[in-house]
Each structure stands twice: as C-alpha cells, then as structure tokens.
Amino acid sequence: MSRRFGSVRARATLGAVLVVAVALLAAGAAVLLSLRSQLLDQADAQAERAARAVAAQLSVGTAYDRLSSLDDDDRPVRVVDAAGRQVAASEDLERISGTPAAEADDDLDPGEIEEEARFDDGSATVDGDTAGYRFAALRVQDPVEGPLTVYAGAPLSVERGAVRTALTVMLIGFPLLLAVVAAVTWLVTRRALRPVEGIRREMAAITASADLGRRVPEPDTHDEVARLARTTNETLAALETSVERQRRFVADASHELRSPIASLRTQLEVGAAHPGLLDVAGAVEDTVRLQRLAADLLLLARLDAGEEPAGGRVDLAALACEEAAGRPAVTVEAAGGAAAAVAGSRGQLRRVLANLLDNAQRHARTEVAVSVRRSGDRVVVEVADDGDGVPEADRERIFERFVRLDDARGRDDGGAGLGLAIARDVAARHGGTLTVGETPAGGARFELRLPAVTAEGVLRA
C-alpha cells in the first residue's frame, strides 16, 4: 500500500483532490455567505416595507384599531410608545424577542418618520408557533400619541431553508465531484505515465543485459515524456560510443604495447643465452618507445577522466621557440610577449607543440614552418610542412586514437597514432581547437587556436 501511494500517479491524484477540495470549500463558503446575505437583504426590505406602512398610517394620526397592516400573519408587527409599552400589535401575536434596541426620539417633528431603519434577528410566537424573523425598527412621531416605535418582522424560514438546501447539495455533490476528479486524474496520469513505465522497463532490461545497443521507446508526442525518451536514447548512444571507444582503446593499447614488449623480451632472452649477441641499443630504443607509449596512455587516461589543466600563464611564442630549438629544418616566426599569452598547463601545451612538430618532421620533405600570431581574442599557432599533405577525406580521422594513414610504415617510424589525438584533446581541454588544412604548396598545415589572455584574464568570444 505504501508503495502504491508513493507513486507519482497516487501523489498527483491526491494533490489534485486536495486542491479541488480546498477550492470547493472556499467556493461553497462564498456561495453560502452570498446566498445568506442576499436573502437577509430581501428579508430586511420586506420588514422595512411592513414597518413603513404602519408608520405612515401612524404619522397621520390613524387610530391603533384602524391600522390595516396589522392583519398580515406572515409579518408580525408591534408598536410601542416612548415608555416601551405595547400600544398595538398584529392579531394572534403572543411574544416578540430580539428586536433592535430603541433610540432617542426627541429629534423627530410631528408626523415625521425616521429615514434609516434598524435591523436585527429575533423570534416571534404567533398563534402558538414560534419562528425566526428579521425585524426592522422604525421610529415615527404620532401627532396625537407622540413618539412611537414600529417593529415589523419578515420570516427567515425561506433564508434558512435555502441555506440548508444549498448545504445539503454541497455535502452530497462535493464528495461525488472529488471522486470524479480523483478518477479522472488517476486515469489521465496513468495514460500520461505509461510511456515512462515503458522507459523504465527497457532501462532495467538494458542494465540486466548490458546491451547498450538497445534503445527505449520514444512516444509519438511532443511533451516532456517524449523529450525524456529522446534524451535517454541520446545518453545511451553517447554511453555506447564511450564504452566502444574505451574497448577499442584498451584493445589498441594492448596491441601497441605487445610489439615493443615482445621485441624487448626477445632481445633480453637472446642476451641471456648469448651475451655477445645482446643488442643494447635496440633494447634501449624499445624501452624508450615503451616508456613514451605508457606516458601517452597515462595522459589520455587523465584527459578522459576530465582532469582540468593548470591555470598558469603560458607564452606560446617562447614555448614554440624552445620546442623548435635543436630540430633541423624547423623555422619559427613569432611575436612573443603578451600577444601570444594563453592560460593553461605549460607541460600539456608543450606536448601539443612537440606532437605537431614530430608529425610535421615525419612527413616533411625539406622544412617545417611554425608561426605564432594573435587573431582577435585567440592565439593561433600554425605548423606547416612541405610534404604530401592530408587527403580531405581523412582530415578528421587522423585525430582518432591509434590511426595511421600509412599502414605500410613501420611502427618505429610512424609512432602509435596517439600524438594528434592527444594534441586535439589537450586543445579542447584548454578551450581551443586543432584542425588540419593544406598549404599553398600542398603540404599539411595544422592550426591550433587557444583563447588569449590579458592582464585581466582570459578573453572570451
């Protein structure tokens, strides 16, 4: 039972019923008060008309036994003098209680009737029957008898009956209406949440089967549930891509590590059996290559884990000159200082420049040109070679991990295919981009764009 009432459908139904119940109570109270007020106004008008009819006769000196308005059994009338003694009353009127209090009577001229009547609830006993009445009190100056007060009542049975009827209708109708609201809300939310249950079941099946190729059903609507399903499928697609990428990464890394490890093991085994045949230089070379590959894999792992680069200030022009120093046939054209300053990790940015220069030197025929310049709010580093260039169809593929366009090249010559992937990932982590184009001579031109910094901080586009 607790599970059922903990559901969204149950909470939505309960919330709707509570809101409607509060609204109905407020509306019912307003209706009853308005109905009672209107009926009281009608009773006041009836009582005042009866009182003014008697007062009009008294104002012209009509004798008490000739007052015609005293014959109405539905509107009891009583007339009292200044001393409070009853001088006239309706036939069969036995008792009146709850009439408005009397006021001073020295401000009326002979024959004058009070302008404003006073009202109050009371009761009257007529011919043995006691009932509730709305009484009006009106003063009149009788030219013969002096000041008199006329009390006339209008029955409240209609008002009380109407209020009781309205209250009965509400007590019966409101629960029925709340039951209808609960049923409709339950059915509507059930229909609206049915796709959510389908999404939940499919997600549970995906979790149980570990099949990230499956997708949740998308309802043919344009509401929040449809957007949830689409977002869930997008998340599953991204997760599938990430897992597949991770699997390929592990497989490729294992494959790349196997070659230098096997070569190193072979050389060491030969050296152990025949010390004179040990290729020390080859062993050192394989060890260095293995070390570089391990460092690249570690850096990629840190980048995939979302490691944020350090926030230091780096002069790309000076860094490019340092990295180009000692490399043959590499020229640098740069304007240093604040114009080439960026924020980030000096070590990671040095790795980007080193990878770009290594790649350019492997493919250049004679020379590699490096330029560093400021372009708006960006610092642009270009590394161009005079080699064969990169085919347009492969200009994005070369940034994938373990991709080498020339499969015939030896692994020692071409590397593991991680340099450009690392360079792009580092550029993205620093808020920049890395793309490849073509030089006028047909070679490859890599362009690195990073946000520039001033003394105040990073410039944003």
- List the CATH number of the domain containing 237: 1.10.287.130
User: Structure tokens of 339?
Assistant: 């114009």
Please report whether residue 87 resides in a domain: yes
Same domain? 177 vs 256 = no
CA pair distance 44, 215, nearest whole angstrom: 74
The residues near 385 (Cβ < 8 Å, ≥ 6 apart) are 360, 361, 363, 364, 365, 367, 368, 369, 439, 443, 444
Same domain, 90 and 183: yes
Please give the pLDDT value at position 412.
46
Domain boundary among 258, 284, 304: 304
Neighbours of 203 (CB within 10 A): 14
Local structure of 188: helix, strand or coil: helix
CA distance 383 to 368: 7
Looking at the DSSP bridge assignments, the partners of residue 324 are none
The contacts of residue 392 (CB under 8 Å, 6+ apart) are none
By DSSP bridging, strand 368-375 and strand 330-334 are: parallel
DSSP H or E run through 225: helix 224-273
In the three-class reduction of DSSP (H, G, I as helix; E, B as strand; rest coil), residue 31 is classed as helix
d(CA 191, CA 211): 28
At 68 the pLDDT is: 79
Check if the beta carbon of residue 357 is closer than 8 Å to that of residue 330. Answer: yes
CA 448 to CA 424: how far, in whole Å? 9
Residues 144 and 290 in one domain: no
Are both 45 and 29 inside the same structural domain?
yes
pTM of the model: 0.52
Q: Do 161 and 281 sit in the same domain of this protein?
A: no
- Provide the 10 A C-beta neighbour count for residue 190: 14
Q: Are 46 and 212 in contact (CB under 8 A)?
A: no
In this structure, the answer to whether residues 125 and 262 fall within a common structural domain is: no
Please work out, in degrees rounded to the nearest 5, the angle formed at the alpha carbon of residue 399 by the alpha carbons of 395 and 403: 100
Provide the edge-to-edge strand list for the sheet that holds 77-81: 86-89, 77-81, 146-155, 129-142, 118-126, 93-97
What is the rounded CA–CA span in Å between residue 433 and residue 212? 30
The continuous run of DSSP H or E covering 405 comes out as none
Residue 391 belongs to domain spanning: 312-451
Q: Which two tokens stand for residue 348?
A: 């990671």
Domain match, 147 and 173 both? yes
pLDDT of residue 17: 92
Do 294 and 342 fall within a single domain? Answer: no
Beta strand spans in 247-338 (E):
312-315, 330-334
Q: Alpha-carbon distance 457 to 229, whole Å?
A: 41
Any domain includes 456: no
Can you give the pLDDT at residue 455?
58
Q: Based on the domain organization, do 78 and 171 belong to the same domain?
A: yes
Whether 216 is covered by a domain: the verdict is: no
**Vertex 373, ends 329 and 375: CA angle to 5°?**
145
Last residue of a domain, one of 209, 234, 263: 209
Per-residue pLDDT tens, the chain, 461 aa: give them: 444 455 788 888 898 999 999 999 999 999 999 998 999 999 999 999 988 999 899 888 888 888 877 766 678 999 998 888 888 888 888 888 888 876 655 578 888 888 889 999 899 888 888 889 999 999 999 888 889 999 999 998 888 889 899 999 999 999 999 999 999 988 888 888 888 888 888 888 888 888 888 888 888 878 888 888 888 889 888 888 878 877 777 776 776 777 777 777 877 787 778 777 777 777 777 777 777 777 777 777 777 777 777 778 899 999 999 999 988 888 998 865 667 889 999 989 999 999 999 999 989 999 999 999 998 899 999 999 999 999 988 889 898 877 776 643 444 445 667 889 889 999 999 999 999 999 988 899 999 999 998 755 544 43
Tell me the C-alpha distance between 66 and 70, whole Å: 9
**Residue 458 located in a structural domain:** no
CB-facing half-sphere around the CA of 120: CA atoms within 13 A: 14
Closest CA to 134 of 267, 246, 37: 37
**Whole-angstrom distance, CA of residue 14 vs CA of residue 5:** 9
Do the domain assignments include residue 345? yes
- Are 289 and 322 within one domain? no
Q: Which of the 8 DSSP states describes residue 358? A: H
Residue pair 58/68 in contact (Cβ under 8 Å)? The answer is: no
* 41 in a structural domain: yes
Calculate the CA 31 to chain-centre distance: 38
6 lies in the same domain as 154: yes
What is each CA distance from 185 to 14, 342, 350, 406, in whole angstroms? 9, 58, 63, 65
Residue 411: per-residue pLDDT: 44
Sign of torsion, CA 252 254 258 261? Answer: positive
pLDDT of residue 106: 57
Given 282, 304, 326, which residue is the final one in a domain?
A: 304
**Do 262 and 189 belong together in one domain?**
no
Q: Which residues pair with 153 in a beta bridge?
A: 135
The HSE-up count of residue 191 (CA atoms within 13 Å, CB side) is: 6
> What pLDDT sits at residue 410?
44
For residue 204, give the H/E element and its range: helix 157-209
Please tell me the distance from the alpha carbon of residue 154 to that of residue 152, in angstroms, as a whole number: 7
Query: What total of structural domains would you count in the chain?
Result: 3
Query: Does residue 219 lie within any of the structural domains?
Result: no
